[in-house]
C-alpha cells in the first residue's frame, strides 16, 4: 500500500515514519521547502526522542519519501492523511485554513479512488466540510471517502505512543474505507490494540472530549493543590491516595503551572466554541480554562513571595518547553511567565536542554542570557525557577547551585525536590500544593 501524509510536523512526521516502519510505502508532503530538504537528508526539524534514527532507517529502506509536491503525493497514494496544523484563532476556535487548502488540492488531483483521512484535530463537522471541498474541486466525480482518525500521541514519547496506542479511533461512513484503514493499521490490530469504529462526527468528538477530560484532571488537581497549601495537606499524598482508586487513575494528577503546549489549551478553547455554536454552554470546560489561566499568575505570585520586586533583578529559568523531552514551546507557561517578568524589568538567564532555539524568537535577546546549562543559568541570579521537569534538573548539585546563585531562592513549579530537604540545605524554597 502507498500512503501520503500531508503536513510533516510533530504529528505528520511521526505518523508517516511509523507507517513506513510497519512496511508501508509513505510519502510525507510539506509546503515548507526547507523542512523537506532537511528531511530528505535524514535531518529532522523537531526534537523527538528516537525519531531521527527511525527516519534514517526508513529512508535507507526506501519506504519513506519526502516532497513539496502535493500533486505527486496524492496521485501515488491510496490513503491521504491530512496532518497540517489547526492553530487557534483569536476567538479560540480552530483555524481550518490549512486543512481547507489541502482538501482543495486533494480534490483537484484525485486520479482514482482514495481514502482521505483527517489526522489533524478538527472541529466536529469538518469531515463533512472536507467532503464538500473535495467534491467541489473534483469535476470528474472521482470516488473518494473521508475518514476521521484522530491522533493521541504525546510529544516526547510520540513513537511509543503511535506504536502502542491505548486505542485507534476510526470514524467512517463507508465499509470500504474502514477495511482499508484496518489493513493499514494491521500491525496494531494484530497486537490486539482496541479499535473504535464509529461515524465521522463521533470520532472527531472523541478527540476533543478526551483532551478536555485530561485538561480537567489537571485543573482539578491544581485547584486541590491550592487548598492543600492553605490547609497544610500535601498534594502528592492526596493525588496518590486518589489515583490508587481505579476509577480515578493516577495519571494527569500532577500539580504545576497549568497545562500548555499546542493541544490542550487550543482543544479546550475550541470545544467551548463548538458547544457555543450549537447553543450550549460548556460550563465545566470553561472553568477548566479559567483555572488553567490563573495558574500562570499563581506561579508569578510565588516568585514575588521570594523576590517582591523583579525590576533590575535576575531570574534563572530551568526549562522553557511546555513539558520535558520536547522542543515545543507553543503556549508554554514558562515563556508566558518569563515575558511577564521581563515586562516588570527583570533580567532572565535561561536554559532548556532542547527548546533554546524555539524559545529565542519568543523571548528575544533583550535582558535575556541564553545559558549553556543549569549552573550557568543560576550564575548570579536572585531567584531560580524550575519550570519544566527535565530529568537533568532532578539531581542538581545543590551546594554548587547555592554557591553560584546570588541568593538561595527557588520556586519549583514542578515539585521536583523535597521541600524539607531543600529548606535543610539552606534554600528559601516554594513548590506547589505542599
Report in angstroms the alpha-carbon separations of 372 from 28, 111, 379. Answer: 34, 52, 11
In the bound state with ligand NAD, the residue whose beta carbon lies nearer, of 162 and 427, is 162
Following DSSP, what letter does each residue of 249-306 receive, concatenated?
-STT---SS---SSSHHHHHHHHHHHHHHTT---HHHHHHHHHHHHHHHHHHHHHHHH
Neighbours of 282 (CB within 10 A): 18
State the binding string over 110-149 for ligand NAD (x if CB under 6 A, else -).
Answer: ----------xx----------------------------
Least distance to ligand NAD, CB of residue 118, Å: 9
Q: Is residue 205 close enough to count as binding ligand NAD by CB under 6 A? A: no
Least distance to ligand NAD, CB of residue 250, Å: 22
In the bound state with ligand NAD, the residue whose beta carbon lies nearer, of 151 and 229, is 151
Contact set for ligand NAD, span 54-83 (CB under 6 A)? 70, 83
Burial of residue 144 (number of CB atoms within 10 Å: 0-12, 13-18, 19+): buried
Least distance to ligand NAD, CB of residue 204, Å: 11
Q: Is residue 255 close enough to count as binding ligand NAD by CB under 6 A? A: no
**117 closest CA partner among 1, 22, 227, 211:** 1
**Contact indicator for 356, 364 with CB cutoff of 8 Å:** no
Q: Is residue 100 close enough to count as binding ligand NAD by CB under 6 A? A: no
**Contact indicator for 413, 395 with CB cutoff of 8 Å:** no
State the binding string over 5-44 for ligand NAD (x if CB under 6 A, else -).
Answer: -xxxxxxx----------------xxxx--x---------
In the bound state with ligand NAD, the residue whose beta carbon lies nearer, of 85 and 324, is 85
Least distance to ligand NAD, CB of residue 425, Å: 37
In the bound state with ligand NAD, the residue whose beta carbon lies nearer, of 35 and 254, is 35
Burial of residue 32 (number of CB atoms within 10 Å: 0-12, 13-18, 19+): middle
Residue from 44, 184, 228, 263 that binds ligand NAD (CB under 6 A)?
263
Q: Which stretch binds ligand NAD (CB under 6 A): 94-102, 237-245, 371-379, 398-406?
A: 94-102
What are the start-end ranges of the E strands in 49-158? Answer: 64-67, 79-82, 114-118, 144-148
Least distance to ligand NAD, CB of residue 391, Å: 20
In the bound state with ligand NAD, the residue whose beta carbon lies nearer, of 106 and 348, is 106
**Interface with ligand NAD: number of residues (CB under 6 A):** 27
Q: Tell me whether residue 431 is one of the annotated catalytic residues.
A: no
Residue from 48, 151, 352, 389 that binds ligand NAD (CB under 6 A)?
151
**Contact indicator for 167, 196 with CB cutoff of 8 Å:** yes
**What is the end-to-end Cα distance of the chain in Å, rounded?**
54
Least distance to ligand NAD, CB of residue 290, Å: 22
In the bound state with ligand NAD, the residue whose beta carbon lies nearer, of 205 and 378, is 205
Q: In this structure, are strands 368-370 and 347-351 parallel, antiparallel, or unpaired?
A: parallel
- Per annotation, catalytic residue among 263, 371, 413, 431: 263
Residue from 65, 74, 81, 85 that binds ligand NAD (CB under 6 A)?
85
Report in angstroms the alpha-carbon separations of 393 from 237, 240, 396, 398. Answer: 22, 23, 6, 11
3-state secondary structure (DSSP) of residue 244: coil
Residue from 5, 153, 168, 386 that binds ligand NAD (CB under 6 A)?
153
Least distance to ligand NAD, CB of residue 121, Å: 4
Sheet architecture: strand order including 25-29 = 64-67, 25-29, 2-6, 79-82, 114-118, 144-148, 168-171, 195-198
Cell numbers found for residue 292: 488553567
Contacting residues toward ligand NAD, per CB under 6 A: 6-12, 29-32, 35, 70, 83-86, 98, 101-102, 120-121, 151, 153, 155, 262-263
Q: Which residues are part of the catalytic machinery?
A: 263
Amino acid at each position: 500500500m502507498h500512503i501520503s501524509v500531508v503536513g510533516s510536523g510533530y504529528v505528520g512526521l511521526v505518523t508517516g515514519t511509523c507507517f513506513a516502519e510497519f512496511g508501508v510505502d509513505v510519502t510525507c508532503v510539506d509546503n515548507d521547502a526547507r523542512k523537506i530538504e532537511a528531511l530528505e537528508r535524514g535531518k529532522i526539524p523537531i526534537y523527538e526522542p528516537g525519531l531521527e534514527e527511525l527516519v534514517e532507517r526508513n529512508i535507507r529502506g526506501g519506504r519513506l519519501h519526502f516532497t513539496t509536491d502535493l500533486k505527486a503525493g496524492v496521485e501515488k497514494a491510496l490513503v491521504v492523511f491530512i496532518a497540517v496544523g489547526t492553530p487557534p484563532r483569536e476567538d479560540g476556535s480552530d483555524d481550518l485554513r490549512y486543512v481547507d487548502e489541502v482538501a482543495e488540492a486533494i480534490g483537484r488531483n484525485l486520479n482514482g479512488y482514495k481514502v482521505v483521512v483527517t489526522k489533524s484535530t478538527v472541529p466536529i463537522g469538518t469531515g463533512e466540510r472536507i467532503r464538500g471541498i473535495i467534491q467541489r474541486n473534483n469535476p470528474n466525480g472521482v470516488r473518494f471517502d473521508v475518514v476521521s482518525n484522530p491522533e493521541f500521541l504525546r510529544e516526547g514519547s510520540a513513537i511509543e505512543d503511535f506504536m502502542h496506542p491505548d486505542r485507534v479511533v476510526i470514524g467512517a461512513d463507508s465499509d470500504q474505507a474502514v477495511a482499508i484503514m484496518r489493513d493499514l493499521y494491521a500491525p496494531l490490530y494484530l497486537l490486539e490494540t482496541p479499535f473504535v469504529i464509529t461515524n465521522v462526527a463521533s470520532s472527531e468528538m472523541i478527540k476533543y472530549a478526551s483532551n478536555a477530560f485530561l485538561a480537567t484532571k489537571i485543573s482539578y488537581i491544581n485547584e486541590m493543590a491550592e487548598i492543600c497549601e492553605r490547609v497544610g495537606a500535601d498534594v502528592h499524598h492526596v493525588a496518590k491516595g486518589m489515583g490508587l482508586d481505579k476509577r480515578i487513575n493516577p495519571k494527569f494528577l500532577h500539580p504545576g503551572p497549568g497545562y500548555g503546549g499546542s493541544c490542550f489549551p487550543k482543544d479546550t478553547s475550541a470545544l467551548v466554541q463548538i458547544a457555543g455554536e450549537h447553543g450550549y454552554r460548556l460550563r465545566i470546560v470553561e472553568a477548566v480554562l479559567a483555572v488553567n489561566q490563573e495558574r500562570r499568575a499563581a506561579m508569578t505570585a510565588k516568585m514575588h513571595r521570594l523576590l517582591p520586586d523583579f525590576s533590575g533583578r535576575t531570574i534563572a529559568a530551568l526549562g522553557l518547553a511546555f513539558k520535558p523531552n520536547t522542543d515545543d514551546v507553543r503556549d508554554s507557561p514558562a515563556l508566558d511567565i518569563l515575558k511577564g517578568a521581563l515586562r516588570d524589568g527583570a533580567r532572565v538567564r535561561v536554559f532548556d536542554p532542547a527548546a533554546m532555539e524555539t524559545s529565542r524568537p519568543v523571548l528575544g535577546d533583550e535582558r535575556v542570557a541564553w545559558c549553556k546549562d543549569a549552573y550557568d543559568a543560576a550564575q548570579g541570579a536572585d531567584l531560580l525557577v524550575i519550570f519544566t521537569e527535565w530529568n537533568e534538573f532532578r539531581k542538581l548539585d545543590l551546594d554548587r547551585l547555592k554557591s553560584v546563585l546570588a541568593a538561595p531562592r527557588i520556586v519549583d513549579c514542578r515539585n521536583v525536590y523535597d521541600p524539607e530537604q531543600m529548606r535543610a540545605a539552606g534554600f528559601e524554597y516554594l513548590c506547589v500544593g505542599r
